Amino acid sequence: MPTTADIHIPPGLRTLPHSALILVTGANGLIASHATDQLLAAGYRVRGTVRSIARCAYLGPLFEARHGPGRFELGEIPDVTDAEVWDLAMYGVSAVAHVLGGTDLAVQDADAAAEEELKWQVTILEAAKRAEGVKSVVFTSSAWAAWTPDAGKAAQLTEASWNDEAVALARDKRVPAEKKGLAGFMAFKTLVEKGVWKWVEKNKPAFAFNTLLLDTVMGECLDPANQGIPSTAGMVRWVWENSHVELLNMMQPQWFVDCRDTGRLYVGLLATTPKIDRQRVFGFGARYSWFQVGEIMKGLYPERADQVAKVKDLRRDQTEVPNEVGVDLLARLGQFEGWRSLEESVKENAESWLKLEQK
């Protein structure tokens, strides 16, 4: 499968010139770090925003080692509600990979959490609108904004699919909180994405705007010594460590996407033609379950087979998803084989924490 160095945009498909500056928000996260890595590999400069430069200073040497000096810069935004700081962050920027968003799975009041987040999400979008050089913005959403996975049900997702089921459950005061599972977080993600689309429809910004719905993200962590094993990549490690098994058993079989593929989706959406605009793009690579992840680990590391978490086999996801746009975007960058496989992604995920353990 392709490596970072294999990314290539043919001249006829490139919409931004080499060395154009692209803003990546929340650049220290798993997804955003791969967006940064792939944008740099494609020949662009990146300004990455973080809450604290002191805490994230490792990003400069990391990307310099991978892509050379002078290509990556850090911007500190400790207060994401500060419009003036976002105006400065947008200066000279041609496109925005907007990854920053809430990640707390234990949302209790989805409406209140969404209302609070939309205040600063709109602040960022308004700053992009004021910055006349911005040609394209990709907003990162969640697969759970489209549906609640359930291996017992066949489903057909479309761009018009919204997880109104989770919103209704989250709001239902007759159901005890412990019975709602992850409905609060799913409802929160649904309401936030609906809110940004409402802003776009009302304000009609000149830039191309798309949302990227990502399901479970697995794969390589670029700097495990400094990043740890964050986000859903950390859940893969739970299987290895036989920890949080109860939570893993709550997770229905669904779809996954490799973190390197996610990085390339941002490149394709922001910097290639034909232009995609006003679409919800599904970053769904292949079906998976945590039981499958455990079985793959046993095959890769048979000496650890007895220590891998014994996750329930909850069967196979039956959802059909419109992920053809993602396949096309990857092909534009020379990745004609399509999505990276679950086996490859689990292996690279495991290698990240093995490197960490060796250090």
**Does position 130 have pLDDT exceeding 50, yes or no?**
yes
User: Distance (Å, rounded) from C-alpha 183 to C-alpha 106?
Assistant: 9
Q: For residue range 197-245, what is the model confidence (pLDDT) as tens digits?
A: 999 999 999 999 999 999 999 999 999 999 999 999 999 999 999 999 9
SS3 state at 139 = strand
pLDDT of residue 6: 74
**What is the pLDDT averaged over residues 100-104?**
94
Among 7-11, 55-59, 188-192, 310-314, which stretch is predicted with the lowest mean pLDDT? 7-11
Please give the radius of gyration of the chain, using alpha carbons only, rounded to the nearest integer. Answer: 20
pLDDT of residue 2: 37
Backbone angles phi, psi at 175, to 5 degrees: -95, 125
**Does position 4 have pLDDT exceeding 70, yes or no?**
no
Give the Cβ contact number of residue 334 at 10 Å. 14
Q: Of 71, 205, 91, 197, whose CA–CA distance to 146 is shortest?
A: 197
pLDDT of residue 239: 97
Q: In what order do the strands lie in the sheet with 21-24?
A: 72-76, 45-50, 21-24, 95-98, 136-142, 208-214, 279-283
For the chain, which domains are there?
Answer: 4-221+256-288+322-341 (3.40.50.720)
The rounded percent of the chain whose pLDDT value lies above 70 is 98
**What is the pLDDT averaged over residues 121-146?**
98
SS3 state at 49 = strand
User: Distance (Å, rounded) from C-alpha 258 to C-alpha 261?
Assistant: 5
Helix spans in the chain (H): 30-41, 59-67, 83-89, 110-130, 164-171, 183-203, 224-227, 233-241, 245-250, 259-271, 290-300, 324-332, 342-358
Q: What's CA 234's distance to the chain center, in Å?
A: 14
The answer to whether residues 288 and 253 touch, using CB atoms and an 8 Å cutoff, is: yes
pLDDT of residue 79: 96
**What is the pLDDT averaged over residues 101-124?**
96
pLDDT of residue 123: 98
Give the Cβ contact number of residue 19 at 10 Å. 11
**What is the pLDDT averaged over residues 75-101?**
97
CA 239 to each of CA 258, 305, 311, 358: distance values in angstroms, whole numbers, following the listed order: 17, 11, 8, 19
**Does position 131 have pLDDT exceeding 50, yes or no?**
yes
pLDDT of residue 356: 85
Confidence class for position 55, pLDDT limits 50, 70, 90: very high
Q: Of 350, 226, 220, 217, whose CA–CA distance to 296 is shortest?
A: 350
Q: Of 81, 96, 79, whose CA–CA distance to 25 is shortest?
A: 96
Write down the mean pLDDT value for the chain.
96
User: Distance (Å, rounded) from C-alpha 344 to C-alpha 206?
Assistant: 39
Residue 261 neighbours by CB under 8 Å, 6+ apart: 283, 285, 326, 330, 335, 339, 340
